[in-house]
Amino acid sequence: MAGLSKGSLAALIVLLAGTLCLLLETAAPWLVSFPAHWTVPATEWVGSSMEWVLLLIKPTARVFSALMAYPMEATNLVLGGSPWILVICSVAALAWLLGGLPMALMVVVGLGFVVASGYWHKGMNTLSLVAVSVPLALFVGGAIGVLANEYPRFRKPVQALLDVMQTVPTFAYLTPLLVLFGFGPVVGLIASAIYAAPPMARNVLLGLERVEPEIKEAAIMAGGTRLQQLFQVEIPSAATQIMVGVNQSLMAALSMVIIAAIIGGFDDIGWEVLLTMRKAWFGPSLMAGMVIVVFAVIIDRMSGTLAQDNRRRYDPRIAWGILGFGIVASALSWNSLPDPSDYAMFEGVADYLDTGLSAFTTANGDWLAAFKNNAMFYGLLPLRIGLDQAVLPFTWGFQWTQQMSLWLFAFGAVLGLVLALRGQVTWGIMALIFIGMLETGITNLPWPFVLIGAAALGWVASGRGLALLAVGLLCTILVSGLWAPAMLSLYLSGAAVFACVILGGGIGLLCSVSPMAWRVVRPICDMLQTIPLFVFLIPVLMVFQIGEFSAFLAIITYAIVPMIRYSQHGLTETPDEMIEAATASGATTWQILRDVRAPYAAPTILLGLNQTILYAFAMLVITALVGTTGLGQLIYLSIGQADVGLGISAGAAMAILALIADRIVQGFAEDRRKVLGL
């Protein structure tokens, strides 16, 4: 074994484990499906202990909930009760201060659309939730960030906690909160505050850490007390980074408020989307979705300018002017202004869209169905249950036989051997493993094989610690009886991530060689990243109806963005000197791309992959709304049943999968960075 590299050795062990499992499959069926009597009722234990804890803090929570109702009603009154002209003018005045004429125009057009769509009141209800939850999140997150900075001992645990909170799916927050606060808008408020606090904490901590040491020392030498140093020097110096936190916090809060609509009880825009989607009124649901997009874009662009260095100042007199106009106009039209809910100017458009869409789907029904079925039968299904079960006369035209499996394995062995002989031992073994996985299907993989595979990846990526962590965490899923849904989730997100890598990597590559393409793709990426997750479901639902394929597409649309961005960025950030050196050596553009840019970009692209995986898991839970199976569905069900144990366990299982994937990819990225000396 001395001649084998670490990677080859790990791959070989996994191959042996896989072969062994395959051979023993019939003799020992417990290898394939984990026996039910080996599991423990962890879900119930978690449920009962959590309920006990929740019961303990419930009175406090209810008091808090009652208290929070006041600011909520107050903002609701201000936002919803004010004439819409006044609200638009106030926001436009603020926008002018932040970004001048283009920003103010964007606000007027965007909010004008909201008024015209007839969703004004519902939209304001959503915004007032955001308006109350964000200050809460900023305060809590900021305090956590400052404290973690002051007491370095807490920094590591706080960062670990923030990491975990990022991987816990959004829905999973809802069940325990539901038990604590009862149905109603306060749950959405608290959930969005909890969800929006970590980005603030993270950025405050990062900003404070990045203040130049000499600036901190200068404040010390000036004779400032610790509080003076912190509030007069360090926090203002970190303002730009903190504003990035404010921006992310706002976006997270908006996203969560809309997701929280699934528990209902509040007449907001998220609920409207959900309602129309369930009734398959796609025109109105698209309209409501557009309103959400408008809010997201306005909030993002306005708060984004705060995080820019050296931003321009705009004349405040014009802002006062806009505000004054708003006051005068609303005073003049106080009685004559009809209720904005009556506008619904776009009802015709919505209806038209609805009918147009049905016409489109009927006209292209065959083609769309063929597309969907081909992707399902020849791509997703074999991946899920394996070629041996997916290949049926009904779809593929023939029945898979034992013999075919043998031929497939023989082909894999030859392929592996060829690769090995050409010096790519690790890739050769990996090829054989992949072919074996394709034959078996991800959800039918023997659990020992998955454990050993995860351990091997962890070991190669970062060492024994990660291998042990991966096995340990996966074992908790195994014994808690959530293995099957976890594998389903793994399969769907894995397939989506794979598609994102191929597609997103390709687009990123294209954009790195063609600035023209990047100019087109970039605003699309910006847009896709601004839109709250929920909205992605609408268009795929319209065309492909409920089901796994729609979920698959929705995940790809959302998760592909980081892959594109990071590939493009990685491939174009190569230092000029290296490119010049390669050019001077006589390399062609393609050779430079392959030999210089790609290796240099590897760590960045791996980070993109990491983000893509996390995005895919985040979206996976949301797609439970359009009927996926797996952990997402369990979490979604638990909300309906207020089953804390199930919600938390399934959420934890999801977080575990995301965490392991995150650590493994980070490990590989770190490794590449070390090799490059970065």
Alpha carbons 371 and 665: distance in angstroms, whole number: 32
Work out how close the CB of 676 gets to other proteins at its nearest, in angstroms, rounded to a whole number.
24
Tokens of 248: 């992310």
With tokens 């649901």, the residue in question is 285
User: Segment 244-263, which members bind other proteins (CB under 8 A)?
Assistant: none
Nearest CA to 283 among 364, 365, 352? 352
Which of 221, 336, 402, 584 binds other proteins (CB under 8 A)? It is 221
Work out how close the CB of 482 gets to other proteins at its nearest, in angstroms, rounded to a whole number.
41
Tally Cβ neighbours within 10 Å of residue 339: 10
Tokens of 485: 């849904």
Work out how close the CB of 207 gets to other proteins at its nearest, in angstroms, rounded to a whole number.
12
Work out how close the CB of 513 gets to other proteins at its nearest, in angstroms, rounded to a whole number.
35
Tokens of 496: 């989506």
Which of 40, 77, 222, 475 binds other proteins (CB under 8 A)? It is 222
Which of 224, 265, 321, 547 binds other proteins (CB under 8 A)? It is 224
Work out how close the CB of 245 gets to other proteins at its nearest, in angstroms, rounded to a whole number.
17
Which of 29, 102, 157, 236 binds other proteins (CB under 8 A)? It is 236
DSSP secondary structure, 474-541, as one string: HHHHHHTT-HHHHHHHHHHHHHHHHHHHHHHHHHHHHHHH-HHHHHHHHHHHHHHHHS-GGGGHHHHH
With contacts defined by CB under 8 A, name the span among 10-18, 122-130, 227-235, 254-262 that binds other proteins. 227-235
Alpha carbons 529 and 254: distance in angstroms, whole number: 13
Binding to other proteins by CB under 8 A, coded x per residue (else -) over 295-324, reads ---------------x--------------
With contacts defined by CB under 8 A, name the span among 7-15, 218-226, 357-365, 394-402 that binds other proteins. 218-226
Tokens of 30: 């417990």
Closer of 135 and 224 to other proteins (Cβ): 224
Q: What are phi and psi of 497, to 5 degrees?
A: -65, -40
Answer for the pair 662, 199: CB distance below 8 angstroms, yes or no: no
Nearest CA to 168 among 645, 659, 665, 667? 659
Closer of 142 and 645 to other proteins (Cβ): 142
Residues in the chain: 678
Alpha carbons 668 and 53: distance in angstroms, whole number: 39
Work out how close the CB of 293 gets to other proteins at its nearest, in angstroms, rounded to a whole number.
35
Which of 223, 423, 523, 677 binds other proteins (CB under 8 A)? It is 223
User: Segment 464-483, which members bind other proteins (CB under 8 A)?
Assistant: none
Q: Residue 64 carries which side chain, given as an amino acid letter?
A: F
CA 379 to chain CA mean position, Å: 24
Which of 19, 82, 232, 476 binds other proteins (CB under 8 A)? It is 232
Alpha carbons 429 and 228: distance in angstroms, whole number: 61
Residue 218 near other proteins by CB under 8 A: yes
Work out how close the CB of 300 gets to other proteins at its nearest, in angstroms, rounded to a whole number.
24
Residues 6+ positions from 610 with CB-CB distance below 8 Å: 661, 662, 665, 666, 669
Closer of 214 and 576 to other proteins (Cβ): 214
Closer of 243 and 433 to other proteins (Cβ): 243
Provide the 8-state DSSP code for 265: -
Binding to other proteins by CB under 8 A, coded x per residue (else -) over 176-215, reads ------------------------------------x-xx
Work out how close the CB of 227 gets to other proteins at its nearest, in angstroms, rounded to a whole number.
10
Which of 12, 20, 161, 239 binds other proteins (CB under 8 A)? It is 239
Nearest CA to 639 among 191, 25, 289? 191
With contacts defined by CB under 8 A, name the span among 220-228, 268-276, 498-506, 587-595 that binds other proteins. 220-228
Residue 152 near other proteins by CB under 8 A: no
Work out how close the CB of 226 gets to other proteins at its nearest, in angstroms, rounded to a whole number.
8
3-class DSSP assignment, residue 637? helix
Nearest CA to 39 among 441, 483, 347, 389? 483
Q: Residue 556 carries which side chain, given as an amino acid letter?
A: I
Work out how close the CB of 214 gets to other proteins at its nearest, in angstroms, rounded to a whole number.
3
Closer of 38 and 231 to other proteins (Cβ): 231
Work out how close the CB of 313 gets to other proteins at its nearest, in angstroms, rounded to a whole number.
13
Work out how close the CB of 311 gets to other proteins at its nearest, in angstroms, rounded to a whole number.
13
Alpha carbons 393 and 401: distance in angstroms, whole number: 11
- Listed in order, strand segments (DSSP E) in 582-633 are none
With contacts defined by CB under 8 A, name the span among 151-159, 221-229, 333-341, 395-403 that binds other proteins. 221-229
Work out how close the CB of 223 gets to other proteins at its nearest, in angstroms, rounded to a whole number.
3
- Tell me the site size for other proteins, rule CB under 8 A: 19
Which of 48, 225, 355, 401 binds other proteins (CB under 8 A)? It is 225
Which of 217, 339, 573, 595 binds other proteins (CB under 8 A)? It is 217
Closer of 233 and 290 to other proteins (Cβ): 233
With tokens 């807490």, the residue in question is 154
Which of 133, 167, 237, 623 binds other proteins (CB under 8 A)? It is 237
Residue 342 near other proteins by CB under 8 A: no
Closer of 310 and 402 to other proteins (Cβ): 310
With tokens 């509030």, the residue in question is 231
Residue 228 near other proteins by CB under 8 A: yes
User: Segment 259-288, which members bind other proteins (CB under 8 A)?
Assistant: none
Tally Cβ neighbours within 10 Å of residue 565: 23
Work out how close the CB of 225 gets to other proteins at its nearest, in angstroms, rounded to a whole number.
6
Tell me how far CA of residue 334 lies from CA of 79, 327, 331, 339, 459, in angstroms: 16, 10, 5, 11, 69
Work out how close the CB of 240 gets to other proteins at its nearest, in angstroms, rounded to a whole number.
9
Work out how close the CB of 237 gets to other proteins at its nearest, in angstroms, rounded to a whole number.
6
Binding to other proteins by CB under 8 A, coded x per residue (else -) over 519-558, reads ----------------------------------------
DSSP secondary structure, 411-445, as one string: HHHHHHHHHHHTT-HHHHHHHHHHHHHHHH-GGGS
With contacts defined by CB under 8 A, name the span among 178-186, 224-232, 631-639, 645-653 that binds other proteins. 224-232
Residues 6+ positions from 613 with CB-CB distance below 8 Å: 493, 497, 559, 658, 661, 662, 665
Closer of 19 and 228 to other proteins (Cβ): 228
User: Segment 412-451, which members bind other proteins (CB under 8 A)?
Assistant: none
Closer of 182 and 224 to other proteins (Cβ): 224
Answer for the pair 572, 509: CB distance below 8 angstroms, yes or no: no
Which of 15, 233, 634, 659 binds other proteins (CB under 8 A)? It is 233
DSSP secondary structure, 88-129, as one string: HHHHHHHHHHHHHHHHHHHHHHHHHHHHHHT-HHHHHHHHHH
Rg (CA), the chain: 27
Which residues sit at the interface with other proteins, rule CB under 8 A? 212, 214-215, 217-225, 228, 232-233, 236-237, 239, 310
